[in-house]
Every structure is written in structure tokens, then in C-alpha cells.
Structure 1
């Protein structure tokens, strides 16, 4: 990979990590005044404001909103909203590092769903991901021990919902544009959040909460944009290990802003999960190279060796 692309991946992943941290801090700060539904309403409004502004500045994007799959858009949006609700609630109940570490189970759920729902092959690498993901969860959760926190189940539910969301997104990209998928998701999620909100919740806000509101309204959208750009310039084998830096970074944020203690076993469990993911990425890359090799038996011609 060119050195220039590596630098770009690092810069975009820095934006991703900072955005997720801002999102977590903003949710924690707003939780005292707003319910989770109301926080998600603020997030949805901010995202719609940004996307609508882009549409006004680039009228050529309007055709991207055309769709005949509204039911699928609604299902995908509802699943993502459920995942967001679990994630935001977990941030108000658990240390940041625990939430972010357990999020790394998402690829495990995604692999299971891909095999069950999409009929994809269960390879050795994917079996390793599932096994190490399960072991990593046990290390973080420690069921049966005093350290176990029941709210951790919310994060596992969040990861499961996000995995379903990702599988649905993969199906949607066959017929829908990227901008259309993002716009419809936020448009459909906004009324979901309002349905569980106090219509006058904005009156409870104070002036010091303006920054957290801006953070919630922009950081989520910006994080996913930065992640997408990072994947454009680098392979998953580079992007995902960099994404793992979210765990120590958010642990530092939790310690500095909220006085949270750092649990070493959270890092151990997250590292085990990450090891499985990286192992599978390497196996997938090797399998892809093997498929790309000529299938003819015997010695290759000299020109094929160059």
C-alpha cells in the first residue's frame, strides 16, 4: 500500500475515533436532562439538517433518493434505531471502555448472520472469529462473578442489531445509492425518536448543553463518514486494528472526564476478540489470493512468474 494512502487511513481513522469519543461524552452529559429517546431525536435532527443542506447545495443528488424499497428501508432503520437505543443507554450505565470493547463482537454476529441468512460458507477463519469472540466476551463480562454488570447485555444486543443492520445494508446496496440509504435511515428514525420523547423536551435544555447537543447531532454522522473514507484508502486489515484504538482512547476519556477506573480485563477480552477478527481477515485475504491464482496444474509459464 502506498505510504500516502497509509497516512490518509490514519488521518480518517483519527477523525473516526475522535467522533465516537465526542458522541459518548455528549450522550453522558445530556443524560441528566434528556431521555435516551430525546437524545436520539437530537441526533436525528442534526443528521437530517446536515443531509438536507447537502441536498440544497448539490441538487444533482435528488435522484439518489428514489426508491421502491420503503419497507426494507423501514426495517433497516428500525433495527439500527434499536441498536442506537441500546448503545446510548449502555453509555449511561457502564464505563465507556466496557461499552466500546463489547462493540467488537459486531463482526462475530455479522459472520453468524451471513452464514445463516445469506448462506455464506463457514470457513476455518470464521470459526476462529466466533470462538475467540465468545471467549473475549466471557473475559469482559465474567458471568457468575461479582464484577459482572447486567447492563453489558445491552451492548451485546446493540452489536447484534448492528450486525442485522449491516447485513440488510449489504442487500440494499444492490439497488439503492449510498446517499439514499443514509438519508432514508435518518428520515425514518427521526419520528421513531420523537414518538418516545416529551414534545416540550427542548424547554428543559440549558445553555451549557449547546456543545453536547452539537456533538450528538454531528459526531455520529461524521464518524461513519470518516470510517467509510478510511476503508476507501486502506484494507480492513489496516483499518480494523486502528479502530481497536477506540478502547484505550475511550478509557482515557472516561478517566479524565468522569473519573472511571480502568479494568485491565476489558482490554484483554477486547484483544482476544480483535485477534480473532484479524486472523479471519488474513485467512480471507489468503483465500482470495488462492482463488485468483491460475487453476491449471503443472509448472506455470515463465511469463507468469514475472
Structure 2
């Protein structure tokens, strides 16, 4: 693989990591005044506007939003929306390092659910990866020695929802463009947020929250666009491990900005989860090349 492509992939992944970290800080700040549904309403609204501009500027234009798979888009976004709300909910209840470490179980859930939803074979390697992931979760959460609460449960369920989102995205990308996927994502999730926020009244953000809302709206798209662009320059076996750099960065942010403790168990557990992911990735690469 050309060194230039690896450099481009690394730079795009750096953009994705910075986007995810900025989204976490902004999301925690916004929830001082808003709940997750209201946060997601503003995020989806900003994202929808950006996508419309991108579609208008694209050579293919608005014609890209046509799809024969509206039902598939709806399923994908129901899981992604649930996962994103749970992630934002957990964001205020558990340390940032624990949240990200538990989120790293996403690929392991994909490996377990793909045989059911995509008809792929459940191999011993996938089971080994899942076992390592489960052990890693226990090390991170430390049941019995620390208090487990709704935040830990929300983070794990969010990871499962993100895994289902990944699986449905894989199916959709065989038919529709990235901009089409983003259009339906921001539209569906915006309508869901509007329906869930309207009964209690939709609050207007205070002046000091406006920049943070802009950050959430922009990073919600930039993170996924950067990740997709990185995959365009290098295979998933190279790109995916780069995302694990998000853990030490988010840990430093949590310590400096919020005074969170640096816990060795989080890094040990995350390392075990990462090994489980790498075991699955190596097996999938061999199967693809066979």
C-alpha cells in the first residue's frame, strides 16, 4: 500500500477522533440545559441543513436521495437513534474513558449479530473475540468493586445499537450513496426528535450553548464522513485500529477538563476488548482473501 494513502487515511482518522472527542465534550455541556431528545433535535437540524447544501453542490444533485429501500433506512436509523440517545445519556453518568472503552465492544457485537442478520457463519474465532470482549467489559466495569449504574448499562446497549446500525449500513451502502444515507439519517432522526421533544416544549438554547450546539451538529457528520473517507484510502484492517487512539485522548480530556480519575483497569479492559476486535478482523481478512 502506498505511503501517501496511509498518510491520508491517518489524517482522516485523526479528524474522526477529534470529532468524536469534541462531540463528547459538547454533548456533556449541552445536557446541563437539555435532554438527549432535544440535543438530537438540534444536531439533526444542523446536519440536515449541511446535507442539503452538500446535495445541492454535488453533480448528482438532489436526485441522490431517491431510494427503493426506505424501510431499510428506517430500521437503520431507529437503532442508530436509540444508540445515540443512550450514548449521550451515559455521557453524563460515567467517566469518558469508561464510556469509550465500553463503546469499543461495537465490532464484537457486529461479529455476533452478523450471522443472524446477514447470514454469515458464526465461527470459533468470532466466539473467541466475543469472549475476550466480555472479559474486557468486566475489567472496565469492575462489578462488585465499583458501583454499576444506568450509565454502564446505557453504554453497553448503545454499543449493541451501534452494531445493528453498522450491519444495516452495510446493507444500505450496496444500493445508496453516502449523501443519500446522511439525508435519510438526519431527516428521520430529526422527525423522531421533534416528536419526542414537542410534548414538553422545545427549549431555546441560551447564548453560551449556541457554539456547543454547533459543535454537536457539525461533528455528528464530520466524524462519520472522516471515517468513511479513511476507509476509502486504506482497508478496515488498518483503519479500525487507528480509532483505538480515541481512548487515551478522551481519557486525558476527562482528566484535564472534568478531573476524572485515571484508572488502570479501564486501559487493561480496553486492551482486552481491542485484542478481541483484532482477532476478529484478522480472521475476516483471511476469509475475504481466501
Shorter-chain TM-score tier? over 0.9
Is the 1:103–1:159 contact (alpha carbons within 8 Å) kept by the matching residues of 2? yes
Matched-pair contact (CA < 8 Å) for 1:135–1:272: yes
Task: Report the CA distance shift for 1:164/1:287 in structure 2 as closer, same or farther (over 3 A).
Answer: closer
Describe how 1:28-39 pairs up with structure 2 within 5 A.
28-39=28-39
Q: Is the 8 Å Cα contact of residues 5 and 233 (structure 1) preserved in structure 2?
A: yes
User: 1:104 touches 1:274 (CA, 8 Å); kept in 2?
Assistant: yes
C-alpha distance in structure 1 between counterparts of 2:51 and 2:288, whole Å = 37
Distance in 2 separating the partners of 1:179 and 1:55: 7
Taking the aligned partners of 1:72 and 1:124, their CA distance within structure 2 comes to 30
Return the offset for 1:288. Answer: 3.4
Which consecutive unaligned segments of at least 5 residues does structure 2 have? none
Residues 167-208 of structure 1, C-alpha deviations (whole Å, 9 max, x = no match): 112222233232212211110110111222244401xx2222
Q: Which of structures 1 and 2 has the bigger CA Rg?
A: 1
Q: CA deviation at 1:106?
A: 0.6
Structure 1 residues 285 and 78, CA gap change in structure 2 (3 angstroms):
closer
CA distance in 2, matches of 1:79, 1:281: 23
Q: Distance in 2 between matches of 1:135 and 1:91?
A: 22
Distance 1:225 1:25, change over 3 A: same
Distance apart, 1:147 and its partner CA: 4.2
Partner residue of 2:6?
6
Report whether the alignment pairs 1:78 with 2:43: no
Pick closer, same or farther for the CA change 1:200–1:112 going to 2, 3 Å.
Answer: closer
User: After the TM superposition, which residues 1-306 of structure 1 pair with which residues of structure 2 at under 5 Å, given as runs?
Assistant: 1-58=1-58, 60-197=60-197, 198-202=200-204, 205-289=205-289, 291=290
Residues 84-130 of structure 1, C-alpha deviation per residue, up to 9 Å, x if partnerless?
11000000111111111101111111111111222211223312211
TM-score by length of 1: 0.90
How far apart are the structure 2 equivalents of 1:252 and 1:85?
24
Checking the alignment, whether the CA contact within 8 Å between 1:125 and 1:284 is kept in structure 2 is: no
SS at match of 2:105: helix
Q: Secondary structure at the match of 1:201?
A: coil
Question: In the TM superposition, what whole-angstrom CA distance separates every residue of 1:257-300 from its partner, at most 9, and x where no partner exists?
Answer: 111111111111111010111122222223333x2xxxxxxxxx
Unaligned stretches of 5+ residues in structure 1: 292-306
Partner in structure 2 of residue 302 of structure 1: none
Which stretch of structure 1 is more off in the superposition, 279-288 or 237-246?
A: 279-288
- In the alignment, is the contact (CA less than 8 A) between 2:98 and 2:266 conserved in 1? yes
Greater mean alpha carbon deviation, residues 58-67 or residues 157-166: 58-67
Q: 1:288 to 1:35 in 2, by over 3 A?
A: closer
Question: Partners of 1:286 and 1:171 in 2: how far apart?
Answer: 22
How many residues align? The count is: 288
* Alpha-carbon distance, 1:59 to partner: 5.8
Q: CA deviation at 1:224?
A: 0.5
**For residues 195 and 54 of structure 1, what CA distance do their matches in structure 2 show?**
26
Shift of 1:150: 3.9
Which deviates further from its counterpart, 257-266 or 14-23?
A: 257-266
Stretch deviating more after TM superposition (213-222 or 189-198): 189-198
